Amino acid sequence: MSTDVTIPSGIITQQSADRARVIRDNVWRAAVLVALVLLWALLSTMSDLVASPADSLNALAERFADGSIYRHLNATLQAVVIGFLIAAAVGFPLGYAIGRSKFLGAVFDPLVAGAFAIPRVIFFPILLQIFGVGVGAQSAMAALAAVFPIMVSTTAGVRAINPLLPKLARSLSLSPLQTVTKIYIPAMAPSLMVGIRIGFSIAFINVIIAEFFAARAGLGLLALRAYGMLDLPTMYGIIVLLAAIALAGNLVLWAIERRLGNKL
Amino acid sequence: MSQIFPIDTVGHDSDVVFDNIGMTFGTKTGVTQAVANVSGVIPEGKFVSVIGPSGCGKSTLLDMVGGLLKPTKGTVSINGETVTGPRRDTAMVFQEDSTLHWRTVLDNVAFGLEVKGVPKADRYESARRMIELVGLSGFEDHRPGQLSGGMKQRVAIARALAMEPRVLLMDEPFGALDQQTRQFIGRELLRIWEKTRNRVLFITHDIQEAVYLSDEVWVMSARPSVVKEVVTIDLPRPRPEGTHTLPRFRELEDHLWELVKVEAEKTLGPGARLA
Amino acid sequence: MVSQSLMVPPSEILIRLAEIVPTDRFGQDVARTLTTILVSFTIGLVLGVPLGIFLWRVPAAGRILEPFIVTGYAMPTLLFYPVLLAVMGLNAGPIIVIAASMSLIPIALTTMVALNAIKPILHKLANSVSASPRQYYLKVLFPAATPLIFPGVKLGFIYAVIGTVAMEFILASQGVGFRAGFYYRELNTADMWAYIAVVIVLSVLVNGVLTWLEKRIRRDML
Ligand SMILES: Nc1ncnc2c1ncn2[C@@H]1O[C@H](COP(=O)(O)OP(=O)(O)O)[C@@H](O)[C@H]1O
Ligand SMILES: [Mg+2]
């Protein structure tokens, strides 16, 4: 058996097999998507409460054509991005500190877990009174909602680090900064990505909930108004738009994960 | 001291008989011929070890006897019956820790019997006997998390023995243990086996261990593998502690090392030379 | 910036709480919220675990459906709330649908991950002793996976709480979440705070119980 011949050719066929599998998976995903749209179309013929896919996309396209949607899209995206950035700026360092220090862990673990379990929307009225109705309140809502999941996954990530790695860092006499950037962050990359993914999702969901409750602009508000005026195509159109945003966000995160995965 | 294949493969009905078995794995990327052709017999009451370079198909061979894998060529038979799946009269011990961490030692040892449907009182009785036999008395209510690696392997051995197998299949059961524990538990195994005298197919990469424990050592070639040579271990039993120092022991060990070395060098690739 | 009406002294909140708690309506609100949470969680569990098992047994399905599941996770499914209200009426039904769908996903995903994390040797062991499929699931798979599934179940429960209270808060006819939002709109800040306090106490209690359970399960099974 000459392994030196079989191994490289094996790797090549492995790669092309992987590529074939990716293509096959994507075909299946497209099929699932088509099936969902068909199901939706079927439901729309059965119930007056469901607008047809074509009508919904048309209504959405109209909103883009006359430009009336941009104000709302901006408000929602701004709130999500600002809220997420605040949550990340606070959540990652705090989560890291709690994970590294036994003392901080003992003090903050129960607090963070308790706060995580509270439906944070309940504080929205208070945010409204502080920031007034507007993007400020929605951003604060997103930050408040996303900060705890980010902290929890960061803390879990720090604690899951192989205990030999800090030893390795000391044996190589790395500086504290090098230890963080060369050892901790790469070792924690998967849980950091989990934090980012969950943080974004939760920020997004909470902004929409908050917009349902009180807002001057935003996709949640627009959907609720459309429903109030029985403009169902617009409402479903916005749902499609939100799903597209969620999917796009996740695709970007996947791409980043894959690049990190290849590099590490 | 050794016989060269082909050997007489016509055994008694009660023997474990390998009849020209081979195993080829089909993978997405092609085929791997793991075991080319193995014939042989494990006679009643014999302890047979298999050694060979890593990746040569030792585990594959064992899994075929255990009924976990179906040979792509030839048959394995026990008691004259072709093995088609896991049998009630075989039991396996693996290299990895296979204890169920949520069960106590007693419930772990009773697991095989429980699955067989043996009533609770009966299976606990045999489990307690086996626990005593492997030297774990007093640990019945402990959980695997509280035991050392060697103790966990003893639990696995007790679980296999409790099933009163006619054939005990052990795949590098001490491979994950340190040298001292390994020697100690090897002696224990031998002491137990002297009492039960079931047939054992024992896989190891430790030549000393193979010589110390076995009646026969089968040396497998590099993949695709055949049994290159069967070495009969003609050391008297029982084998007390000093057995390792007997000149005959050294001779057998050296002979096996020569055989294994050639195969290991083939596996490691052209130019590899082992001392 | 902070308006006067936000500042309610804690003493006043406590007094309001003491007055509110004995009332029938408070009992009804709490009962409604708790049953909604429990029903949502139960549905999430009953659907989530089999879904997780399916995704584990058929890895291709898991791979193919992953983008849909993750998108569904990240999507404000509550957008369907108005439609569900129109279909099912202003009762617990629409809330249960949304809270159950929120609770289901972490349960399904952790079930899949937990089953994937089971050591292959346990499959081999079960096979070698000829365990039946039933024995395999009940005696090996589930006990081995439970400590790993539990964090997902806990998360599912927390999501059921969050979903229920959030939906009540937006629009409902009963429930502690509804009451907090209601008093905000009525500008009755003291009562709003009282109900916020109730929600906090409820969530912290739920989390405490779940954490205690998790510790027990881990101690008994790991
Ligand atoms: N299920 C399988 N599919 C494909 N190839 C396998 C499978 N199991 C084992 N092999 C291959 O068969 C050969 C022998 O494996 P194994 O019996 O585990 O070797 P050993 O136990 O002697 O180290 C190896 O090259 C291994 O990669
Ligand atoms: Mg092996």
Calpha distance B191→B237 (Å, rounded):
11
How many domains does one find in chain A? 2
Q: Last residue of some domain: B147, B164, B181?
A: B164
Average pLDDT of span A75-82: 94
Q: Is the domain of B252 the same as that of B134?
A: no
pLDDT of A160 over the 50 cut: yes
pLDDT of B217 over the 90 cut: yes
pLDDT of B12 over the 60 cut: no
Give the pLDDT of residue C164: 93
What is the span of the domain harbouring residue A88? 53-263
Q: Is the domain of A30 the same as that of A115?
A: no
In a domain, B95, yes or no: no
How many domains does one find in chain B? 2
In a domain, B43, yes or no: yes
Q: Is the domain of B29 the same as that of B76?
A: yes
| Residue numbers in C near B100 (CB within 8 A) | 122, 140, 143-144
Give the pLDDT of residue B79: 85
Q: Is the domain of A22 the same as that of A111?
A: no
Percent of chain C with pLDDT over 70: 95
Q: Using a 6 Å cutoff on CB, does residue B57 contact ligand 1?
A: yes
pLDDT in tens, A38-48: 999 999 998 88
Q: Is the domain of A22 the same as that of A61?
A: no
Instruction: Give the pLDDT band (50/70/90) at residue A186.
Output: confident
Q: Is the domain of A125 the same as that of A209?
A: yes
Give the pLDDT of residue C217: 82
Q: Do B86 and C144 lie within an 8 Å CB cutoff?
A: no
Q: Using a 6 Å cutoff on CB, does residue B54 contact ligand 1?
A: yes
In a domain, B10, yes or no: no
Q: Is the domain of A182 the same as that of A224?
A: yes
What is the span of the domain harbouring residue B258? 16-89+167-266
Q: Is the domain of B124 the same as that of B248?
A: no
Q: Which atom of ligand 1 is least distant from the CA of B23? A: 12
**B64 and B70 Cβ atoms separated by less than 8 Å:** yes
**CATH, residue B175:** 3.40.50.300
More confident residue, C89 or C157: C157
Q: Is the domain of A43 the same as that of A126?
A: no
Q: Using a 6 Å cutoff on CB, does residue B58 contact ligand 1?
A: yes
Give the pLDDT of residue A56: 93
Q: Is the domain of B39 the same as that of B134?
A: no
Q: Is the domain of B195 the same as that of B242?
A: yes
Calpha distance B103→C207 (Å, rounded):
28
Average pLDDT of span B249-260: 93
Give the pLDDT of residue B105: 95
Q: Is the domain of B114 the same as that of B157?
A: yes
- Orientation of helix A185-213 relative to helix C142-170, angle to 10°: 30
Structure tokens at C55: 């995704």
Give the pLDDT of residue A174: 84
Percent of chain A with pLDDT over 90: 39
Instruction: Give the pLDDT band (50/70/90) at residue C62.
Output: confident
**What single string gives the DSSP state of each residue in chain A?**
--HHHHHHHHHHHHHHHHHHHHHHHHHHHHHHHHHHHHHHHHHHHH-TTS--HHHHHHHHHHHHHTTTTHHHHHHHHHHHHHHHHHHHHHHHHHHHHHHH-HHHHHHHHHHHHHHHHS-GGGGHHHHHHHH-TTHHHHHHHHHHHHHHHHHHHHHHHHHTS-THHHHHHHHTT--HHHIIIIIIHHHHHHHHHHHHHHHHHHHHHHHHHHHHHS-SS-HHHHHHHHHHTT-HHHHHHHHHHHHHHHHHHHHHHHHHHHHHHHH-
Q: Is the domain of B38 the same as that of B110?
A: no
Q: Is the domain of B31 the same as that of B142?
A: no
Minimal CA separation from A6 to chain B, in Å: 10
Q: Is the domain of A27 the same as that of A74?
A: no
Give the pLDDT of residue B21: 93
pLDDT of C145 over the 70 cut: yes
Q: CB atoms < 10 A from the CB of B71, how many?
A: 22
In a domain, B152, yes or no: yes
Give the pLDDT of residue B213: 94
| Residue numbers in B near C132 (CB within 8 A) | 115
Q: Smallest Cβ distance to B222: which of A1, A10, A13?
A: A1
Give the pLDDT of residue C6: 67
Q: Is the domain of A119 the same as that of A182?
A: yes
In a domain, B238, yes or no: yes
DSSP C70: H
- Three-state helix/strand/coil letters over chain B: CEECCCCCCCCCCCCEEEEEEEEEEEECCEEEEEEEEEEEEECCCCEEEEECCCCCCHHHHHHHHCCCCCCCEEEEEECCEECCCCCCCEEEECCCCCCCCCCCHHHHHCHHHHHHCCCHHHHHHHHHHHHHHCCCCCCCCCCHHHCCHHHHHHHHHHHHHHCCCCEEEEECCCCCCCHHHHHHHHHHHHHHHHHHCCEEEEECCCHHHHHHHCCEEEEECCCCEEEEEEEECCCCCCCCHHHHHCHHHHHHHHHHHHHHHHHHHHHHCCCCCCC
pLDDT of A9 over the 60 cut: no
Calpha distance B83→A138 (Å, rounded):
68
Residue B27 zone, left/alpha/beta (φ > 0; ψ -120 to 50; rest): beta
pLDDT of C151 over the 70 cut: yes
Q: Is the domain of A46 the same as that of A137?
A: no
The residue whose C-alpha atom lies closest to atom 2 belonging to ligand 1 is B25
**CATH, residue A234:** 1.10.3720.10
Determine which of A3-17, A228-242, B30-44, B131-145 has the lowest per-residue pLDDT on average.
A3-17
Mean pLDDT, rounded, of chain C: 88
Q: Is the domain of A191 the same as that of A239?
A: yes
Would you call B145 an interface residue with chain C, using a CB distance cutoff of 8 Å?
yes
Mean pLDDT, rounded, of chain A: 85
Give the pLDDT of residue C222: 60
Minimal CA separation from B221 to chain A, in Å: 12
pLDDT in tens, B104-163: 999 999 999 998 889 999 999 999 999 998 889 999 999 998 899 889 999 999 999 899
pLDDT of A7 over the 80 cut: no
Q: Which residues pair with B199 in a beta bridge?
A: B167
**Residues sharing a CB contact under 8 Å with residue C156, sequence separation 6 or more, in sequence order:** C41, C44, C45, C48, C103, C104, C105, C106, C107
Q: CB atoms < 10 A from the CB of A236, how many?
A: 28
Average pLDDT of span A197-225: 90
Q: Is the domain of A60 the same as that of A165?
A: yes
**A127 and A137 Cβ atoms separated by less than 8 Å:** yes
Give the pLDDT of residue B238: 87
Q: Do A10 and B28 lie within an 8 Å CB cutoff?
A: no
pLDDT of C83 over the 50 cut: yes
CA dihedral (C163, C168, C174, C176) in degrees, to 10, reads 80
pLDDT of A251 over the 50 cut: yes
Determine which of A15-29, A128-142, A208-222, B210-224 has the lowest per-residue pLDDT on average.
A15-29
| Residue numbers in B near A6 (CB within 8 A) | 30
pLDDT of B254 over the 90 cut: yes
Single pTM value for the model: 0.81
| Residue numbers in A near C68 (CB within 8 A) | 29, 32, 36
Q: Is the domain of B85 the same as that of B185?
A: yes
Instruction: Give the pLDDT band (50/70/90) at residue B15.
Output: confident
Q: Is the domain of B222 the same as that of B138?
A: no
Would you call A42 an interface residue with chain C, using a CB distance cutoff of 8 Å?
no
Average pLDDT of span A72-92: 94
Q: Is the domain of A93 the same as that of A181?
A: yes
Q: Is the domain of B192 the same as that of B219?
A: yes
Residue B21 zone, left/alpha/beta (φ > 0; ψ -120 to 50; rest): beta
In a domain, B198, yes or no: yes
Would you call B182 an interface residue with chain A, using a CB distance cutoff of 8 Å?
no
Q: Which residues pair with B202 in a beta bridge?
A: B49, B170
Percent of chain A with pLDDT over 70: 92
